[in-house]
Amino acid sequence: MGTKMLIVDDSAFTRRVVRNALNGRGYREVIEAENGEEGLRKYETEKPDVVLLDIILPGLHGTEVLKNIMNMDENAKVIMLTAVGQEKTMKVCNILGSVGYIVKPFDERKLVDTVEKILHAKEKRKRLAKLTEFEEEALREVGHISAQHAGTALSKMIGKVVKVELLAATLTSLDGLPKLIGNREALVSGIYLPITGDLSGSLLVIFPEKSAFTLVDVLLKKEMGTTKEFGEMGKSALSEAGNILAGNCLTALSHALGMHLVEHVPEFAHDMVGALIDNVAVAFGQEAERALTIQVELNAGKKIKVTGYFFLLFALKEARAMLRALGAKAGV
Amino acid sequence: MYNIPEDIVVDTAQVKVTQAPNRLVALGVGSCVVITLHDPMLKVGAMAHAMLPDSTEHGPTINPFKFADLAIDAIIKKMEFLGSNRQNMKAKIVGGANMFPNLGHESLRAGEENVLAVKEKLRKERISLAGEVVGGSVGRSVDFDTVSGIVTVRVKI
C-alpha cells in the first residue's frame, strides 16, 4: 500500500508542483487543502501518513495548524514549507513537533528526498515513558531558575530575603502526585493557574495553612499571628501574591525556553491538600499518564517563616516539547 | 473470636476489601469519587477511590483502578470472592467536587463527570445506590464502617 500525503498550501501552483513531483512514486493519494481549517478537517478524516504544511496561510496560521495536528496525533509526521528568513518560526515548529522543513522555492528532487527520508526514518520520534537522567536534570534546572524568579518577587513583596530550595523535579504518575505532600488531610491554601500557549500545563502554588496566615499578616501589614482565618481581603491578598509569584515563574520559564506561555487569572482555594492536588492532577489524567512535577520550597527569614511549594505540572508530551526547546536530546 | 477494628486507608487509584469490624478510610477526596459497597448480611465491605470516569477513552494504563468503571468492576469481584452477591450489595458514593469552581477550566470538571460515570456504571451492574454526598467544592474524608455499613463524611472547612 502506498503513502497518503496531505498538502496544506493556499497556492494552487505549489500544490500542483508537489502533486507532479510525487506522481508515479508510489503515493497512493495526494490530498489537497487550501487553508488551515480545511487541512485540519482533512487530517482528521483522511489520516494521511505525512503532511506538507505551509507556514503562511490565510486564516489559521501554520503553527496553529501544526499544534492542532500534534494534539490530535502525537506521532503525526508534519513537514513545514517555509520561505527564507523564517528561521525563528521554524524553531517554534520544531518545538511544536514538526519533523522537517523544505525551503521554498524547492525542486522536485529535494522535495522527494526530504519526504522519503522522513518516511523511512526508523521511529526516531518514539516516545519513551521515561525521561533520562540527563533530561530530568535539564528540566530541574529550568524549574529552579523559574522558581528563583518567583522567590525574588516574593522577596520584594514582603521585604525579606527569600531562599529558594529545589526539592524535586520528577516525572510522576498521576496517582502518585498526591503522595508527594504526605498527609492528605493537611489544610493548605492553593493557588491554581492554568498555563496555555506553546505549552499547556498547570501551576499550583501551595502554602501550608500557617504559612498562608503569616503571608496574609505580612501582606496586609498586620501584627504577626493576627490572621486566623481568611476574610475576603486575605483571600484577595493571597491570590494576588500567588498571581505575582506565578507570573514571575512563568516569565522566567518563557525566557528559558524561548516559548510563549499565557498565564490566566488564578483561583484560590483553602482545603485539604489531597483534595486540591487530586483535582489538578486529574486535569492531566484526561490526556496523560504522567506529569512533570517541579517542587520548590520558598523560605523567608527566621522571624517570618513562610514555606511555599510550587508544582509546575506538564504532561510528558509537554515535557518533551520543553526539552526540544532546550536543545536537549529528547526521546532518542 | 474478638477482633480489634483496623482502619485501612484506600489511596487514590486503589481498591480494597475487608470484613467487620474493620473500617475503610479515604482521606482528602476532591474531584475523585469514593465508592463503597457493603453487604449487611455478610458484613463485608469494599472501597474504590477513582480519579477518572472512563477507561475506554484512554490508551493502555499502568493502573486500571484510577478509572471508575474498572475500579467498580474490581470491588464487585472482590465482594463476590468473599461470598457476597450483587443483590445484597449496597453502594454509597462520596466526592466528585470541583475545588476550583470559578476557573471554568474544562478539564477541572472531572468531579461532575466522575459522579455521572459512577452512577451509570452502578445502574449497569444493577447495584443499588443507598446514599451519596457529592459535588460542591469541598474536600472530604470518608470513614466506612463495615459492621454497620455507615459511611461518615468529614470536612475541614
Specify whether A181 is located in the same domain as A231: yes
Question: So which residues of B are the catalytic ones?
Answer: 32
Total domain count for chain B?
1
pLDDT of residue A243: 82
Q: What CATH number does the domain containing B28 carry? A: 3.30.1330.200
Same domain, A220 and A313: yes
Q: Considering the domain boundaries, does residue A125 fall inside one?
A: no
Contact B51 A286 (CB under 8 A): no
pLDDT tens by residue, A30-67? 899 999 999 999 999 989 989 999 998 888 888 889 88
Q: Are residues A197 and A318 in the same domain?
A: yes
Q: In this structure, what CATH number is given to the domain that contains residue A37?
A: 3.40.50.2300
Task: Determine the residue among A229, A243, A278 to mutate to test chain B binding: the one whose Cβ has the most chain B Cβ atoms within 10 Å.
Answer: A278
Select from A120, A154, A182 the last residue of a domain. Answer: A120
- Give whole-number Cα distances, B12 to B28, B47, B57, B130, in Å: 10, 11, 19, 23
Distance CA A67, CA A98 (A): 9
Q: What is the mean pLDDT of chain A?
A: 80
Domain ends where: A99, A120, A141? A120
Q: How far apart are CA A269 and CA A187, in angstroms?
A: 10
Q: Is residue B146 part of a domain?
A: yes
Angle in degrees, CA A204, A209, A214, rounded to 5: 105
**Which pLDDT band holds residue A271 (cuts at 50, 70, 90)?**
very high
Q: Are A218 and A267 in contact (CB under 8 A)?
A: no
Identify which of A194, A275, A286 has the shortest CB distance to residue B97.
Answer: A275
Tell me the DSSP string of B124-146.
HTT-EEEEEEE-SS--EEEEEET
Lowest mean pLDDT among A29-33, A310-314, A325-329, B148-152: A325-329
**pLDDT value at residue A175:** 67
Residues of chain A with C-beta less than 8 angstroms from the C-beta of B97? 275, 279
DSSP string, A76-138: --EEEEEETT-HHHHHHHHHHT--EEEEES--HHHHHHHHHHHHHS-STTPPPSS--HHHHHH
- Residue in A100, A104, A54, A102 with CA at minimum distance from that of residue A76: A100
Nearest chain B residue to A192, by CA: B100
Tell me if B112 is assigned to some domain: yes
Same domain, A35 and A111: yes
Asked whether residue A61 is assigned to any structural domain, the reply reads yes
Q: Is residue B157 part of a domain?
A: no
* HSE-up of residue A273 (Cα within 13 Å, Cβ side): 21
Residues 6+ away with beta carbon under 8 Å from A291? A171, A172, A174, A177, A281, A284, A313, A314, A315, A316
Q: Which of A194, A279, A287 sits opposite B31 (nearest CB)?
A: A279
Cα separation, A305 vs A194, whole angstroms: 28
Find the domain containing A61 and state its range. Answer: 3-120
- For chain B, report the end-to-end CA distance as a whole number of angstroms: 40
Q: With contact defined as beta carbons under 8 Å apart, do B122 and B75 qualify? A: no
pLDDT at A125: 47
Q: Is A74 a residue whose pLDDT tops 50?
A: yes
Residue A331 has pLDDT above 60, yes or no: no
- B41 to chain A nearest CA, in Å? 33
Same domain, A187 and A321: yes
**Domain boundary at A94, A120, A146, which?**
A120
B1 domain residue, yes or no? no
Neighbour count for residue B145 (Cβ, 10 Å)? 19
pLDDT single digits (tens) A283-299: 765 555 666 777 777 78
**Which pLDDT value is given to residue A153?**
86
Give me the CATH number covering residue A180. Answer: 3.40.1550.10
Claim to verify: residue A180 and residue A310 sit in the same structural domain: yes
pTM over 0.90: no
Of A179, A272, A283, Cβ closest to residue B107: A283
Specify the pairing of strand A78-83 against strand A100-104. parallel
Per-residue pLDDT of chain B (157 residues; tens, 9 = 90+): 567 889 999 998 899 999 999 999 999 999 999 999 999 999 999 999 999 898 887 666 667 898 999 999 999 999 999 999 999 999 999 999 999 887 666 666 789 999 999 999 999 999 999 999 999 999 999 999 999 999 999 998 8
Residue A222 has pLDDT above 80, yes or no: yes
Contacts with A85 (C-beta within 8 Å, 6 or more apart), sequence order: none
Residue A180 at interface with chain B, using a CB cutoff of 8 Å: no
Per the domain annotation, does A128 fall within a domain? no
Contact A185 B156 (CB under 8 A): yes
| Residue A233 scores a pLDDT above 60 | yes
Tell me whether residues A269 and B137 touch, CB distance under 8 A.
yes
Nearest-Cα distance to chain B for A289, in Å, is: 7
Q: What is the tally of structural domains in chain A?
A: 2
Is residue A123's pLDDT more than 70?
Answer: no
In this prediction, residue A288 carries a pLDDT of 57
- With the C-alpha atoms ordered B76, B82, B83, B87, is the resulting torsion angle positive or negative? negative
Tell me the residues of chain A between 182 and 221 that have a Cβ less than 8 Å away from chain B: 184-185, 187, 190, 192, 194
Contacts of B13 in chain A (CB under 8 A): 174-175
Q: Which residues of B touch A178 (CB under 8 A)?
A: 11-12, 28
**B83 in a structural domain:** yes
